[in-house]
Copies of this chain bind each other. A is one copy, B any other.
Amino acid sequence: MRIKPLLIISFLMFSLNSYSQNFDSLNIRTIYSEALTSRISYDNLNYLCKNIGGRICGSPQSEKAINWLYNLLTEMKLDSVYLQECMVRQWVRGDKEIASVISGIVGNFDLNCCALGTSVGTGSEGILSNVIEVMSFDELKKLGREDIEGKIVFFNRPADQRFINTGSAYGSAVDQRVRGAIEAGRLGAIGVIVRSATVAYDLHPHTGIVRYEDSTKKIPAIGISTKDADLLSSSLKVDPALKVYIRTTCHENPEVKSYNVIGEIKGSKYPDEIILIGAHTDSWEIGEGAHDDGTGIAQCIEVLRIFKDLDVKPRHTIRFVAFMDEEINQRGAKKYAEIVKAKNEKHIAAIESDGGGFTPFGFSIDANDTARAKIQSWHPLLLPYGIYYLEKGGSGVDVWYLKDQKIPLIGLDVDSQRYFDFHHSSNDVFENVNRREMQLGSASIASLVYLIDEYGLK
């Protein structure tokens, strides 16, 4: 990269045989300082959360976000800004959902609930039935059609708190949300209630995708908060004959056009070799999509801004892709991967930020041994910034679609402890993002991009 005179002068104070290390060290220092002293990325996140808000694919808010991104990247005077069309589903939540316990013994009361993403609705008349609580699909199958038919199934297995990474805790419970409607539907249930897949214990219901299969009747699915799940469970112990009334008017409109937004700084030496940085524009709409994935979007924009404002000219093209539709069908990511393949575009790496704007710990690397070893060789340069971890692992949902093209995939790894307190809930708002934590993520990505641009991954 072309370096500013100031850095060259500073560098000259160091001995010649440690040229590159000092040089890199100074540049990474400069990148972190720039990220930590500018409020621009935090202001961008604020705008996205407060002026646009939650933005599921196909929604007016998602269009607004696309326009905002396109205009913002254009104003930054990047070398290239363009849209990439994809068709997306258009699911609409409808009226505020209702789930009411009806019992002569424990009384009548409402549960804090939300329809699961892409759920069918109950219709405006709602559904009313007895509730069968289960902790697993095995338990459900053992009960069988006889006990399940015509009932509402309540999946109440909590996320396992014993996992250190909350992603694993989430993974220990989220099958109920994803496949609960299929499994219960196969046995004739008329609806499902799912305990939110989170380590938090509060009143926020969490949404997220529910899957259906063609061969099984689609039944309405709602999430309830962890506290409400305990309340429903204890109520069922007192009155097993209680009923729950559910009313959701969510529905699906025909597919609509949407877009990935792409902005590039062209490489000075290898314009056709791309370092991709990515995040997703869409978010569930009950919150503001702050940590999921507003921070990823703001961080990628910030990486471009840092390169522009420090007047660093990368040798390879740095391409930011704001993917559409991560939450439902990854239509944007699929379209992107399809075009990369069709055009035979060369990517030297693809980095994704989709774990929330928390203190970064490292990078998780899905690449061949050579690329991983190269990244690991930079550990001494990144360690002073708290990048402790550079290991084999997953990358991100969107860049994963590039995997069969043998592109090194990399995910920013951050402190996971608080993510699922916010994830897919109305609690995922700007106020819950700490400025410095998010900035450290931007700087970590920018530093890795800098090193990949300098040394490649071969």
- Which of A31-39, A293-301, A364-372 lies on the face that meets chain B? A31-39
- Give the chain B neighbours of A384 by CB distance below 8 A: 164
Alpha-carbon separation in the docked complex, A435 to B436 (Å):
21
- Give the chain B neighbours of A421 by CB distance below 8 A: 434
| A164 in contact with B37 (CB, 8 Å) | no
Most buried by B among A33, A385, A386: A386
Q: Mark A99-110, 1 if CB is under 8 A from B, else 0.
A: 000000000000
Copies per complex of this chain: 2
Q: Is A24 an interface residue (CB 8 A)?
A: no
- Give the chain B neighbours of A161 by CB distance below 8 A: 36-37, 436
Decide yes or no: A388 and B359 within 8 Å by CB, A164-B32, A415-B415, A417-B436 being known contacts: no
Decide yes or no: A436 and B359 within 8 Å by CB, A162-B36, A164-B384 being known contacts: no
Decide yes or no: A388 and B361 within 8 Å by CB, A32-B164, A161-B37, A436-B199 being known contacts: yes
Neighbour of A437 across the interface among B386, B388, B418, CB < 8 A: B418
Q: Mark A139-151, 1 if CB is under 8 A from B, else 0.
A: 0000000000000
Q: Is A440 an interface residue (CB 8 A)?
A: yes
A54 to chain B, nearest CB (A): 23
- Give the chain B neighbours of A258 by CB distance below 8 A: none
Alpha-carbon separation in the docked complex, A435 to B226 (Å):
15
Alpha-carbon separation in the docked complex, A386 to B168 (Å):
14
Most buried by B among A37, A385, A435: A435
| A434 in contact with B418 (CB, 8 Å) | yes
- For window 186-223 of A, CB contacts with B under 8 Å fall at 199, 201
Alpha-carbon separation in the docked complex, A361 to B385 (Å):
13
Q: Is A389 an interface residue (CB 8 A)?
A: yes
| A417 in contact with B359 (CB, 8 Å) | yes
- Give the chain B neighbours of A437 by CB distance below 8 A: 417-418
A120 to chain B, nearest CB (A): 35
- Give the chain B neighbours of A32 by CB distance below 8 A: 162, 164
- For window 93-133 of A, CB contacts with B under 8 Å fall at none
Whose C-beta in chain B lies nearest to the C-beta of A439?
Answer: B161
Q: Is A166 an interface residue (CB 8 A)?
A: yes
- Give the chain B neighbours of A418 by CB distance below 8 A: 434, 436-437
- Give the chain B neighbours of A417 by CB distance below 8 A: 359, 434, 436-437, 440
Decide yes or no: A388 and B389 within 8 Å by CB, A436-B166, A437-B417 being known contacts: yes
| B440 in contact with A164 (CB, 8 Å) | yes
A446 to chain B, nearest CB (A): 14
| B162 in contact with A33 (CB, 8 Å) | yes
- Give the chain B neighbours of A388 by CB distance below 8 A: 361, 388-389
Alpha-carbon separation in the docked complex, A164 to B37 (Å):
11
Alpha-carbon separation in the docked complex, A384 to B162 (Å):
13
A442 to chain B, nearest CB (A): 13
| A385 in contact with B33 (CB, 8 Å) | no
| B389 in contact with A359 (CB, 8 Å) | no
A404 to chain B, nearest CB (A): 31
- Give the chain B neighbours of A389 by CB distance below 8 A: 388
A residues lining the B interface (CB < 8 Å): 32-33, 36-37, 39, 161-162, 164, 166, 199, 201, 359, 361, 384-386, 388-389, 415, 417-418, 421, 434-437, 440
Can you give 5 contacting A-B residue pairs, CB < 8 Å? A32-B164, A36-B162, A166-B436, A199-B436, A388-B389
User: Which 10 A-B pairs rank lowest in CB-CB distance, beginning with the nearest?
Assistant: A388-B388, A33-B162, A36-B161, A417-B436, A417-B437, A359-B415, A37-B161, A359-B417, A418-B434, A36-B162
